Amino acid sequence: MTTEELDQFGPWVLPVRGPSDVPRLYADERVDWDSVELALKVPRPLQRRDATPGMDLYDALLLVDAHALTVLRRRTHDAGYDRLQARHRDVLALESSTSMLDGRLTLHTLSGTVEVPYNGSQAGVIEDLLDVLRFHAFGVRTGEPRDAPALEREAAGREDLALVTAYRELVAAGVAADAVAVAPRGRVARRGGVLSRAADLLLPVTRHAAVVVVGPAEVHVLHRRAWLTTVRAPVHSLAHLVLPRDRRAALWGEPHARLEGVLVVRGEGVPTLALPDVGEAGGLLLSAVGSEGVRRP
């Protein structure tokens, strides 16, 4: 390992501008640097004081060109790395989420899911990467800020001010928004008899809040990482899901099998969402993506 690589190591997702910036582990990878538009190296979840000479310090090298995102990922059980590739034309959904310092970039594609963990303090860098991926996968480029529907600070409730803040930051960054709907969090009851009612008292289920944002070519859903929980502790996670409006993924809604008042939105190869079965959010999302509607049992 070079002294420079060890000296610069930390939680930071760093740009790679050419062969001299490539971590030693990936140095033998043949890369056409003339075609690479963006390259990032993602560090291991390791304290700086624990890094030593000889360690492979980067869990992943991300390479974006006009055709695909290539992920070189360090193996954890033996030497070397694996090579994954997600073609832009195969992407069904993009998602970045953080829960404290646990960050995850996820590409949902026709051939499966590609996930890249990262330090949650680097969410801004990953959002920049998300902009590049949106352009190639969905043909959308973030532009100048424009008029967008306003959301009051407490539109999602006092416990979910972060979602409204995330919406305001999204439109301030130039993401087009023609319509927006909020699904505030709420308690939901289990279906069934006496035992279900007892479970509701002991372990109540919370359906978490979400903000659905519809633009000309894509839908953004700002939400918590877990849609349904029985945990009473505060929830601090934040997720940003992007879906295209070109009907490449068929989505539909259906009533939750075990919970009252919950509309489950699912599709082949895309994340499953849980929204209220009344209100604007579910209907706005389904109509925006050209869905198959709501399936009744």
Structure tokens that stand for 25 in this block: 């582990």
pLDDT one digit per residue (tens) for the chain, 297 residues: 456 778 788 889 999 999 999 999 999 999 999 999 999 999 999 888 888 877 889 999 999 999 999 999 999 888 899 999 999 999 999 999 999 999 999 999 999 999 999 999 999 999 999 999 999 999 998 888 889 999 999 999 999 999 999 999 999 999 999 999 999 999 999 999 999 999 999 999 999 999 999 999 999 999 999 999 998 788 999 999 999 999 988 899 999 999 999 999 999 999 999 999 999 999 999 999 987 777 877
Close Cβ partners of 278 (under 8 Å, ≥ 6 residues apart): 261
CA distances from 95 to 143, 187, 233, 270, 288 (A): 20, 26, 24, 10, 18
Best CA proximity match to 186, nearest among 269, 277, 83: 277
Q: Does domain 3-138 have CATH number 3.40.50?
A: no
Structure tokens that stand for 276 in this block: 């209220």
User: Each residue of 94-120: pLDDT tens digit?
Assistant: 999 999 999 999 999 999 999 999 999
Could you state, in order of their start, the residue ranges of all structural domains in the chain? 3-138, 158-288
Q: How far apart are CA 178 and CA 293, in angstroms?
A: 21
Q: What is the pLDDT of residue 262?
A: 97
Q: What is the pLDDT of residue 2?
A: 56
Structure tokens that stand for 210 in this block: 């979400």
The model carries a pTM of 0.94
Q: What is the pLDDT of residue 54?
A: 79
Strands (DSSP E) contained in 44-130 are 58-64, 68-74, 81-87, 91-99, 102-109, 112-119
